[in-house]
Amino acid sequence: SQELEQSPQSLIVQEGKNLTINCTSSKTLYGLYWYKQKYGEGLIFLMMLQKGGEEKSHEKITAKLDEKKQQSSLHITASQPSHAGIYLCGADMNYGGSQGNLIFGKGTKLSVKP
Amino acid sequence: NAGVTQTPKFRVLKTGQSMTLLCAQDMNHEYMYWYRQDPGMGLRLIHYSVGEGTTAKGEVPDGYNVSRLKKQNFLLGLESAAPSQTSVYFCASSYSTRGRALATEAFFGQGTRLTVV
């Protein structure tokens, strides 16, 4: 969806390097979700951010939501081959409360070279 | 706990044929969604439902119909399949957040790979 812009579209990094994926919206977001998808499989939930300035971490992945709640970043520290996959950000675009209009960005394809 | 189950997992259709994809969830979720995923396009929302008996159009609804007769099931129908509908289809479900302060994550099925020839 063009309402959620992800960058970069693809990323190749050397194992052990850090990387950042961005997700930007023109609207204020009620909730911002990050999912990971391994090739040919379903989506795995990573994190959800709701408050402006919120930051969450899980293992080596950290996600942040800016104060305006329009931009989020996903940062991976010391990348590993297991981090490879497609990362998608998603958000409910019905401002003021979730009403089911859950859309996603186009995804960022991450490859990690051993 | 099965979560979100999609059937079938694979299907090949001829142009003009019809079919129904079934999504079933056992988490008592109010919201259900159908997406299609194409290379370079991410996940695009086809239709969604915020409760039994209600459906709404998403980003790419043309050529598809849906029904939510039971809370646990969400059906996606293709009345006359076209090659442009070749895709991987994902179903998802989540709790409603009406009246709640917190948003809630969506749970996804494993996908249905559909080829229209």
Q: What is the pLDDT of residue A102?
A: 85
Residue A89's Cα: distance from chain center in Å? 4
Whether cis (ω within 30° of 0) applies to the bond prior to B8 is yes
**Euclidean distance between CA atoms A7 and A9, whole angstroms:** 5
For residue A103, the chain B residues in CB contact (below 8 A) are 43-45, 58-59
What residues contact residue A79 under an 8 Å CB cut-off, 6+ apart?
A13, A14, A15, A16, A17, A18, A19, A60, A110, A112
Banded model confidence at residue A39, pLDDT cuts 50, 70, 90: confident
Q: Is pLDDT above 80 for A50? A: yes
For residue A45, the chain B residues in CB contact (below 8 A) are 105-107
Q: Is B89 on the interface with A (CB under 8 A)?
A: no
Q: Mean pLDDT across the stretch B65-93?
A: 97
Q: Is pLDDT above 70 for A28? A: yes
**Inter-residue contact B108 to B91 (CB < 8 Å):** yes
**Inter-residue contact B64 to B55 (CB < 8 Å):** no
Q: Is A55 on the interface with B (CB under 8 A)?
A: no
CB contact under 8 A, B111 and A48: no
Q: Is B74 on the interface with A (CB under 8 A)?
A: no
Q: Is pLDDT above 60 for A98? A: no
Q: Is A100 on the interface with B (CB under 8 A)?
A: yes
| Beta-carbon count within 10 A of B72 CB | 16
Q: What is the dihedral of CA B81, B63, B32, B98, to 10 degrees?
A: 180
- Each residue's pLDDT tens digit, B23-47: 999 999 999 999 999 988 889 999 9
At which residue do the structure tokens 């909730």 appear?
Answer: A31
**Inter-residue contact B46 to B61 (CB < 8 Å):** yes
How far is residue A27 from each of residues A17, A87, A95, B1, B3, measured CA to CA in Å?
32, 21, 8, 36, 31
Question: Which token pair is A91?
Answer: 């958000």
Q: Which residue has the higher pLDDT, A69 or B4?
A: B4
Question: Which token pair is A36?
Answer: 């990971």
Share of chain B above pLDDT 70, in %: 93
For residue B56, the chain A residues in CB contact (below 8 A) are 100-101
CA-nearest residue to A31 within chain B is B103
Banded model confidence at residue A78, pLDDT cuts 50, 70, 90: very high
3-state secondary structure at position A83: helix
Q: Is pLDDT above 70 for B102? A: no
Q: What is the pLDDT of residue B99?
A: 63
Least CB–CB distance from B45: residue in A35, A97, A102? A102
